[in-house]
Amino acid sequence: MFADRARIIIKSGKGGDGHVSFRREKYVPDGGPDGGDGGKGGDVIFQVDEGLNTLTDYRHRRKFAAQPGQEGGKKNCHGKNGEDLILKVPEGTVIKDAESGKVIADMSGDNRRMVVLKGGRGGLGNQHFATSTMQAPKYAQPGQDAIEIEVQLELKVIADVGLVGFPNVGKSTFLSRVTNAQPKIANYHFTTLQPNLGVVDMEDGFGFVIADIPGLIEGASEGVGLGHEFLRHIERTKVMVHIVDAAGTEGRDPIADIKAINKELEAYNPELLKKPQVIAANKIDAIYGDENEIISGLKAEFEKDGIKVFPISAVSGKGVKELLYEVKNLLAKCPKEVTVYEQEFDPALQFFKDEPYTIERADDAAFVVEGPKIDKMLGYTNIESEKGFLFFQKFMKRSGVLDELEKLGIEEGDTVIVGDYLEFDYYKA
């Protein structure tokens, strides 16, 4: 069964708690603390699997959790790190926050593997809390909590060319003629209930992928008919081929059909109409009367806008080769890169939102930012990496830290101390 959407709950692993214990050795009655640190919780990682083309694996299972870190042990033993959870998805899968609908990750292009939820940092054992005045601390740090969120998985088919048109205009027949695909073909509406992909191999070795998008109808952009179920699959295509019933076998006007489809595409996403288009006037072998009159009418209406019209018969193959060469020429002018959606939402920010923090001016004039919210952020972020530092910047801005620093009169070049170990000079972006 083809599945292009799924809604699941994912949870990272909780960090293992630090351990409280003391040395117990012969002739050492008052041994010092030797509680080990807790292990790190497992990450939730999404990874592209080239062998997958559907989200079926996520339709019948709802919850997925990484392994928690193990508690620290006696004799400074470090707890075992929790195993990462790797969720394999087809290329083109977009991961969104279920509540806001914002993009977390797009598993397309060069993005083959991404840590979506980081596991909690393990807590420190009591050995770390010994001081000259407290040589037997009975306290250990708990491990950081896991992060749990609900995500929406959406598969947006990656194809060079998208076939669009009303139901029963011959899209599946066309696909079966020009590719090795074997879609279901019958003379009734909505024969195609899922996108079908096929590869066109041209004589000169040039090839491209075509997606047969299930028939659209008026109101599709508002969810009428199959609506949003399949409009998303057009977004990544580079060229669109409008297939219309030029013979009007069902009493439809081909010009009105094309305009109606374009209206739905624009309502769904105005950027779609910026893609190169070509019109395949299908079923010319079924035209009664003057073929030239119908084709001339289509050309007069659309070719002035740069959209070429090709009379074809998907059944006999007439005119198909000329159409494919035009599609090839259009693809040659398109960017080679796959459309990849930028991240709009970081789940970790959700995890920090309700935690307090404080900002104070130290005696040396430095600004000190600290609190549970800050400790959590630093625990989940690798500041030394580029992505980690960008996340840190977003966190400081979205959480209101930068605004509060400016209210306190911070100036460029002033020192900011964040948590226990991060220190930097402030410069306004």
Tell me the whole-structure pTM to 2 decimals.
0.63
Q: Tell me, what's the pLDDT at 218?
A: 46
Q: Which are the contacts of 321, defined by CB distance < 8 A and separation ≥ 6?
A: none
- 193 has a pLDDT exceeding 60: no
Encode 108-130: b = buried (16+ Cβ within 10 Å), e = exposed.
beebeebebbbbbbbbbbbbebe
- 391 has a pLDDT exceeding 60: yes
- 200 has a pLDDT exceeding 60: yes
Q: Tell me how many degrees the CA angle 54-57-59 measures, rounded to the nearest 5.
A: 95
Helix, strand, or coil (residue 321): helix
Report the range of poorest mean pLDDT among 90-94, 224-228, 385-389: 224-228
What the block records as the tokens of 128 is 């770390």
- Max mean pLDDT among 61-65, 348-352, 411-415, 424-428 falls in 61-65
Lay out the sheet containing 148-155: strands in order across: 63-65, 5-11, 148-155, 93-97, 103-107
Residue with the two structure tokens 């909590």: 145
Calculate helix-pair angle for 291-302, 254-268, nearest 10 degrees: 30
Mean pLDDT across 99-116: 89
Helix, strand, or coil (residue 94): strand
Q: Tell me, what's the pLDDT at 355?
A: 67
CATH 2.40.50.100 correct for 347-425? no
Mean pLDDT across 12-35: 83
- DSSP per residue over 360-376, as a string? EE-TTS-EEEESHHHHH
Q: Tell me, what's the pLDDT at 191?
A: 40
Q: Tell me, what's the pLDDT at 225?
A: 41
Q: In whole angstroms, what is the distance from residue 100 CA to residue 104 CA?
A: 10
Q: 135: alpha, beta or left, given left = phi > 0 and alpha = psi -120 to 50?
A: alpha
Helix, strand, or coil (residue 5): strand
Instruction: Yes or no: say if 285 and 293 are a contact pair by the CB < 8 Å rule.
Output: no
Q: Tell me, what's the pLDDT at 220?
A: 39
214-269 tens-digit pLDDT:
655 444 344 444 444 556 667 778 899 999 988 877 777 889 888 988 888 888 88
46-69 tens-digit pLDDT:
999 988 877 888 988 899 999 999
Give the rounded percent of residues in the chain with a pLDDT score beyond 90. 22
Torsion over CA: 261, 267, 269, 273 (sign): positive
The CATH number, out of the four listed (2.10.60.10, 3.20.20.70, 3.10.450.50, 3.40.50.300), of the domain defined by the range 161-332: 3.40.50.300
Higher pLDDT, 30 or 302: 302
Mean pLDDT across 26-38: 79
Q: May I ask the CATH architecture of the domain 1-155+340-345?
A: Distorted Sandwich (2.70)
Q: In whole angstroms, what is the distance from residue 378 CA to residue 381 CA?
A: 5
Q: In whole angstroms, what is the distance from residue 137 CA to residue 190 CA?
A: 71
Query: pLDDT-based confidence at 332, cuts 50/70/90?
Result: confident
Side-chain half-sphere CA neighbours of 275 within 13 A:
26
Lay out the sheet containing 85-89: strands in order across: 85-89, 44-48, 113-117
Average pLDDT value over all residues in the chain: 80
Instruction: Yes or no: say if 227 and 190 are a contact pair by the CB < 8 Å rule.
Output: no
Report the range of poorest mean pLDDT among 80-94, 154-168, 257-271: 154-168
Residue extents of the structural domains in the chain: 1-155+340-345, 161-332, 347-425
Q: Tell me, what's the pLDDT at 1?
A: 42
Q: Tell me, what's the pLDDT at 29?
A: 63
What the block records as the tokens of 341 is 């959606």
- Max mean pLDDT among 17-31, 152-166, 228-242 falls in 152-166
Q: Tell me, what's the pLDDT at 50?
A: 86
Helix, strand, or coil (residue 410): coil
Q: Where are the alpha helices (DSSP H) in 245-382?
A: 254-268, 291-302, 320-332, 347-352, 372-380
Q: Tell me, what's the pLDDT at 30?
A: 64
Distance of CA 57 to the CA centre of its chain: 17
Q: Tell me, what's the pLDDT at 382?
A: 63
Q: Tell me, what's the pLDDT at 357?
A: 77
